[in-house]
Amino acid sequence: MRLFNFKSTKQVIGVVALAGLSTISFAKDKVYTWKIATTWGPTLSPFIDTVHNMADMVKEMSNGRLVIRVDASNKHKSPFGVLDMVKGGQYDMAHSASYYWKGKDIETLPFTTMPFGMTAPEQYAWFYYGGGMELMQKAYKKHKVLSYPGGNTGNQMGGWFRKEIKTLDDLKGLKMRIPGFAGEIMAKLGLAVTNVAPGELYTSLERGALDALEWVGPGMDIKMGFHKIAPYYYTGWHEPATELQFLVNEKKFKKLPKDLQAILVTAMKLSAYDMYIQNYAMSADSWSKIATDYPKIEIKTFPTEIMDAMKKANKELIAEKSKDSPLLKETIESQLNFQKKAREWTIMSDYLYLKDNLK
């Protein structure tokens, strides 16, 4: 008989004399207080909502035994330093996007999204049933950090352009804000790719310091107001399923009791899926508002000549960057193989269904 089988999460915190019962002690659950640093500002929906949703779920499910304080970037002042802060233990967790570290660790890049890559359901299938999770843990192992999907934006739009793009020549010299891998592709195509702080994007576009820019999609773009000054809205090619990431300090995670580990992992996974759906709803809603208020906005797809050039540049860049990292090579090959198989299913299911119902 294990009479004193107090669980590790509980501590006896008091012994009190009681009339009739001689004395009684009572158990109180140990409370873990964690902090999460986000790359995002405190109002950047739906990214920051996802973090709050995760923390709220954890608190409720654990009955207050695991409480996670959310620090937005205005608090910790280091939006792109969050991986380092989790590694160093100043924070227990972070919420960000893997491709932000491409400068210091190219191996984490493909876990966000790849140009011409998988759509959201294809990519989630790869993560959970196609070996993606295992590869992501491999990439983050050197940082002693665990990584989990942290929310998908769905297909991102190709950006707002002040002029219509008809040929490759129309792109040459164009000043565009487009970050990451996609920016490198655009640079190969002759654009002047620049980075501009989010707060200055609208003015830059208005004054001609930028001719075009890429942000996310209607749900997040509407607040920025780009549609008021750049009427050509190009469809996406570069970020078909941008997945954010939760990062967790491995040592701290291991110190949590098993049930709190399960609660945390479940809350991260659910809040990630939820963001995909939240952003889908936001995009549908915002696009219908933009289209009603600004009927002159035109949805455009890039001409084949340009798409082909982008695809070629993408392949060259992948080959170049894979040369020095077997893990990056393995990850991208795993993605391409899975994509080939999954895309056939996507075409015969949702794509042909949508095509049949276009009218």
Dist. CA 33–CA 304, nearest whole Å: 53
As measured in angstroms, the least distance from the Cβ of 241 to a second copy is: 9
Which of 23, 195 has the CB closer to a second copy?
23
Task: Yes or no: say if 216 and 153 are a contact pair by the CB < 8 Å rule.
Answer: yes
As measured in angstroms, the least distance from the Cβ of 335 to a second copy is: 13
As measured in angstroms, the least distance from the Cβ of 322 to a second copy is: 21
As measured in angstroms, the least distance from the Cβ of 102 to a second copy is: 22
Half-sphere exposure of 317 (CA within 13 A, CB side): 22
212-213 and 159-161 as β-strands: parallel, antiparallel, unpaired?
antiparallel
As measured in angstroms, the least distance from the Cβ of 285 to a second copy is: 7
Dist. CA 12–CA 63, nearest whole Å: 18
Dist. CA 301–CA 236, nearest whole Å: 8
As measured in angstroms, the least distance from the Cβ of 325 to a second copy is: 26
Dist. CA 246–CA 68, nearest whole Å: 13
Which of 107, 122 has the CB closer to a second copy?
122
Which of 174, 264 has the CB closer to a second copy?
264
Alpha helices in the chain (DSSP H): 47-61, 73-76, 82-88, 120-129, 132-141, 168-171, 180-188, 201-207, 218-221, 250-255, 258-293, 304-322, 326-346, 352-356
Task: Yes or no: say if 109 and 182 are a contact pair by the CB < 8 Å rule.
Answer: no
Which of 142, 166 has the CB closer to a second copy?
166
List % helix, strand, coil for the chain (3-state, nearest 5). 50, 20, 30
Which of 324, 356 has the CB closer to a second copy?
356
Which of 223, 258 has the CB closer to a second copy?
258
